[in-house]
């Protein structure tokens, strides 16, 4: 149903997609709680992220594990960067944590590109009012 996909959606396909989309929406959002295994530093990242996305329907309690892994990677990256001198193993670990954090941030909608995709997706849903008149 996204613009530019090259697919022409029939009215039935659109209706089926909308019905399926409704199944994924909660009547009442559930809270996100940090897993007990997160370090103090990772919990600080968790709190900061949740404060940053407050008021936006972006994260759900099903995202808990992915968000926890993101927070853990960011916290471990931060701890290593505070170390005075870095050896080769530290540099490799920094690179790994940064890749992990960026990957999970993108999946969670925390990067500018991910947010732009989400905005485009929402805009595409309301953009084609003319085309709706020709559904069969």
- On whether residue 4 sits in a domain, the answer given is no
- On whether residue 49 sits in a domain, the answer given is yes
- On whether residue 88 sits in a domain, the answer given is yes
- On whether residue 71 sits in a domain, the answer given is yes
Number of domains, the chain: 1
pLDDT above 70 for 122 = no
- On whether residue 121 sits in a domain, the answer given is yes
Residue 99, domain extent: 11-132
What value does the mean pLDDT take over residues 36-55?
Answer: 91
More confident residue, 116 or 76: 76
**DSSP one-letter string for the chain:** --TTSS----HHHHHHHHHHHHHTS-SSPPPP---TTS-HHHHHHHHHHHHHTTTSTT--GGGHHHHHHHHHHHHHHHHHHTSSS--HHHHHHHHHHHHHHHHHHHHHT-SHHHHHHHHHHHHHHHH-HHHHTT--
- On whether residue 3 sits in a domain, the answer given is no
- On whether residue 2 sits in a domain, the answer given is no
pTM score: 0.68
pLDDT above 90 for 39 = yes
pLDDT tens-digit profile of 20-35? 665 555 555 567 888 9
- On whether residue 122 sits in a domain, the answer given is yes
CB 53 within 8 A of CB 111: no
């Amino acid at each position: 149903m996204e613009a530019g996909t090259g697919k022409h959606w029939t009215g039935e396909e659109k209706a089926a997609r909308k019905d399926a989309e409704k199944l994924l929406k909660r009547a009442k959002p559930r809270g996100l709680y940090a897993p007990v295994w997160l370090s103090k530093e990772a919990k600080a990242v968790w709190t900061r992220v949740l404060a940053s996305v407050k008021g936006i329907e972006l994260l759900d309690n099903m995202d808990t594990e992915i968000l926890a892994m993101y927070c853990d990677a960011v916290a471990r990256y931060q701890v290593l960067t505070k170390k005075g001198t870095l050896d080769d193993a530290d540099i490799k670990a920094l690179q790994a944590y940064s890749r992990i954090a960026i990957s999970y941030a993108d999946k969670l909608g925390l990067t500018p590109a991910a947010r732009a995709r989400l905005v485009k997706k929402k805009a595409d849903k309301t953009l084609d009012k003319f085309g709706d008149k020709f559904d069969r």
